[in-house]
Amino acid sequence: MNEIFLMKLGEIVLKGANKRQFENKLRQNVRRRMKHYGNFDVYIMQSTVYVVPEDENADVDGAWEACHSIFGVVSLCRCRPCEKNVDAIYNAIEEYLGEDLDCARSFKVESKRSDKQFPLNSIQISQEIGGRLAEAHPSVKVDVRKPEYTVYVEVRDLAAYVHGPAEPGAGGLPTGVGGRAMCLLSGGIDSPVAAYMIAKRGVEIECVHFFSYPYTSQLAKDKVLELARLVTKYSGRMTVNIVSFTEIQEAIRDNCPEEYFTLIMRRFMMEIAQRLAKHDGCGALITGENLGQVASQTMEAMTVTGAVVDIPVFMPLVGMDKEEIVTISRKIGAFETSILPYEDCCTVFTPKHPKTKPTIGQLIHAEAKLDRQAMIDKAVETVERIQVKYHDEPRI
């Protein structure tokens, strides 16, 4: 084979005794991702993941693109393996990187030798190879301080590898090392970003969406499923729980004071989400809440909505500006879908003057006419579970 990927492990290198477990998880995740693109051998040595295409028909470009969204990898490069001698290394560079080198005005060679048996040390490798390249490419100057292009040589245990500059990986921790959490996924900009951020910390994601047909349309549901699909590019496959929320919203409208509508509704969401979470082995909830963004996102409002659950509620966006959130939303490819105009159930029956400083006592009083537990039981019993994976057809 004449091209493989080398991916450098991120924070997991630091994890001491758990390192082996982290590496195994990462290897498993990479293997699973690569399956879609053909036959690849995946192994880890010296804090590096090797991804080796094993058949002619493998979709190497597709696999390369997919490797950029695997958590636990800080940087990655495509490279050419070759024999461990200077001639072979030089020839591999000429063949594999010669054209890139010719496009630059200046270059240097940077070498790393983890096989200490190799007769030249890293400085000597760089000097020897750099000298030969300079002679063969007289229009490209050697510049060891600020080169436009860097040729990398790595002499490792099994072979030598040559490559150009590495690209940034997805960072974070391998999916699955941090347990599982349930994200309350709306059709907005924030919650898909929140799901992505917690997934990045090694957490498997499951989602719940509250759906108020006919107040919100089938399109709104497809939009949420599409957002979930986009998140799976990073998080891996997930289940989306669709909770029919219409009856609960109508009961709130008919039986509760208007200024508390949103807060009561959100307390139902949290409690139902927690029931589903516990059922599926999720140890936390995730929301896209952001301090001060809307009336239901004050500290007091968060106190009354958080009071109905006893597992942690992760709000990774709580201190971010909208602009920062939008940047991530664009980066993960969710933004264009998030801004499609379909209604969310939160915008149905919104109070004209929502309470911004509610107390728990007020909420209990405002909910007094509702049989909350029976309503929650029913919602949980009638949940629709949809499996979503990245290679599904786009939903909208």
By CB under 5 A, the residues from 182 to 221 that bind Mg ion are 186, 188
**189 binds, options Mg ion, ligand ATP, none, Cβ within 5 to 8 A by partner type:** ligand ATP
The identity of residue 56, as a single letter, is E
- C-alpha–C-alpha distance, residues 24 and 42, integer Å: 11
Please give the residues from 176 up to 195 whose contact with ligand ATP meets the rule CB under 6 A: 184-186, 188-191
Q: Which partner in ligand ATP, Mg ion, none is near 23 (CB below 5 to 8 A by kind)?
A: none
In the bound state with ligand ATP, the residue whose beta carbon lies nearer, of 34 and 242, is 242
Where do we find the tokens 């968060």? Answer: 302
Is residue 311 at the binding interface for ligand ATP, with CB under 6 A as the rule?
Answer: no
Please identify, using beta-carbon distances, which residue of 67 and 198 lies nearer to ligand ATP. Answer: 198
The mark string for 321-360 relative to ligand ATP (x by CB under 6 A, - otherwise) is -----------------------xxx--------------
Q: Does 287 bind ligand ATP (CB under 6 A)?
A: yes
- Distance of alpha carbon 395 from alpha carbon 381, whole angstroms: 25
Rounded Cα–Cα distance for residues 25 and 74 (Å) = 16
Q: Which entry of ligand ATP, Mg ion, none binds 271, CB below 5 to 8 A by partner kind?
A: none
* 293 forms part of the interface with ligand ATP (CB under 6 A): yes
8 Å CB contact between 258 and 354:
no
Q: Of 111 and 337, which CB lies nearer to ligand ATP in the complex structure?
A: 337
**Which one of Mg ion, ligand ATP, none interacts with residue 184, CB within 5 to 8 A by kind?**
ligand ATP
- Whether residue 341 is preceded by a cis peptide bond, meaning omega within 30 degrees of 0, is no
Tokens (6 digits) for 212: 């108020």
Q: How many residues bind Mg ion (CB under 5 A)?
A: 3
Q: Which residue's CB atom is positioned nearest to ligand ATP?
A: 188
**Distance, CA of 216 to CA of 187 (rounded, Å):** 11
Strands (E) across 88-230 are located at 106-113, 141-142, 149-155, 160-163, 167-171, 180-184, 204-211
Please spell the DSSP secondary structure of 67-95, one letter per residue. Answer: HTT-TTEEEEEEEEEE-SSHHHHHHHHHH
53 or 288: CB nearest ligand ATP: 288
Looking at beta carbons only, is 48 or 297 nearer to ligand ATP? 297
How open is the CA angle 147-149-150, to the nearest 5 degrees?
A: 90
CB of 347 to Mg ion, least distance (A): 8
- Nearest alpha carbon to residue 7 among 71, 93, 101, 89: 71
Which residue number, 287 or 298, has a Cβ lying nearer to ligand ATP? 287
The residue ranges that bind ligand ATP (CB under 6 A) are 184-186, 188-191, 208-210, 269, 287-289, 293-294, 296-297, 344-346
The residue ranges that bind Mg ion (CB under 5 A) are 186, 188, 344
